[in-house]
A and B are shown apart, each in its own frame.
Chain A
Amino acid sequence: EVQLVESGGGLVQPGGSLRLSCAASGFTFRTYWMHWVRQAPGQGPVWVSRIKNDGDITSYADSVKGRFTISRDNAKNTLYLQMNSLRAEDTAVYFCAREGPTLTFHFDLWGRGTLVTVSS
């Protein structure tokens, strides 16, 4: 089955760190660019970060630049998001998403998401 499964979310204090993982299966992970998208409760999705299929190119939303790091291990079919210096406004469900093969910044496969709550 073609799927993405996120893990690693939870409750963390402001200023803390968390690493999210996204396990891919059912498709050739190493050939796809991948993204993280987050969605705060009751709000719309917000694009967070993107990584090239071989990991050589990364990009970030201004709101997370310098605090979050996207990476991938193609041997393990896994995408990561290292989140440091977390703030209350980072509270959201974090989705990993696969970019379509035409590389036109659309997301053709999504995981179910993992909830990150930043609170003291």
Chain B
Amino acid sequence: QSALTQPPSASGSPGQSVTISCSGTSSDVGGYNYVSWYQQYPGKAPKLMIYEVTKRPSGVPDRFSGSKSGNTASLTVSGLQAEDEADYYCSSYAGRNMGVFGTGTKVTVL
């Protein structure tokens, strides 16, 4: 169960877009449409932002969108706002009733 690979950091100015990648294998990201994304502020619990690759829970702004191609999933935050500055983690079902998280990306709003 190796962690999914994310870039350590990403940044953008207010109003711009930032895209975070999440690289896995055919046994996790590539094998199932069960990728989810979480936003986490320091000292707080993660919050679900995207599930089943592209779906947004109620209350999550439509500035957040997800996609997947092969073994790599992506989260795009459009129209960056100051409150989007946080850590973001991807997660995927990995078969055999097990899951795996990504290494995390710190998003900075310049």
Binding site for B on A (CB under 8 A): 35, 37, 44-47, 50, 57, 59-63, 95, 100, 102, 104-108, 110-113
B40 — which chain A residues lie within 8 A by C-beta?
A: 45
In the assembled complex, 11 residue pairs joining A and B whose CB atoms fall closer than 8 Å, in A order, are A44-B87, A45-B46, A45-B91, A47-B1, A57-B97, A60-B98, A100-B51, A102-B52, A104-B36, A110-B47, A113-B45
Contact A47 B99 (CB under 8 A): yes
Contact B93 A104 (CB under 8 A): yes
Give a binary string over B10-44; 1 marks a CB under 8 Å from any A CB, 0 the rest. Answer: 00000000000000000000001110101010001
Cα A22 to Cα B79 in complex, Å, equals 37
Contact A61 B1 (CB under 8 A): yes
A117 CB, nearest partner CB in chain B, Å: 16
Binding site for A on B (CB under 8 A): 1, 3, 32-34, 36, 38, 40, 44-48, 51-52, 57, 87, 89, 91-93, 96-104
Beyond A61-B98, A107-B48, whether A44 also contacts B89 by CB under 8 A is yes
Beyond A110-B46, A111-B45, A113-B45, whether A104 also contacts B52 by CB under 8 A is yes
Cα A35 to Cα B97 in complex, Å, equals 11
- Besides A105-B34, A106-B48, 14 other A-B contacts (C-beta < 8 A): A37-B101, A44-B89, A44-B102, A45-B91, A47-B1, A47-B101, A50-B98, A60-B98, A102-B52, A104-B32, A104-B93, A106-B34, A107-B46, A110-B46
Beyond A46-B101, A47-B99, A61-B98, whether A107 also contacts B36 by CB under 8 A is yes
Cα A47 to Cα B2 in complex, Å, equals 11
Cα A47 to Cα B93 in complex, Å, equals 10
Contact A44 B104 (CB under 8 A): yes
A113 — which chain B residues lie within 8 A by C-beta?
A: 45
A44 — which chain B residues lie within 8 A by C-beta?
A: 3, 87, 89, 101-104
- Residue on B with the closest CB to A110? B45
- Residue on A with the closest CB to B104? A44
Beyond A47-B99, A59-B96, whether A106 also contacts B45 by CB under 8 A is no
B89 — which chain A residues lie within 8 A by C-beta?
A: 44-45
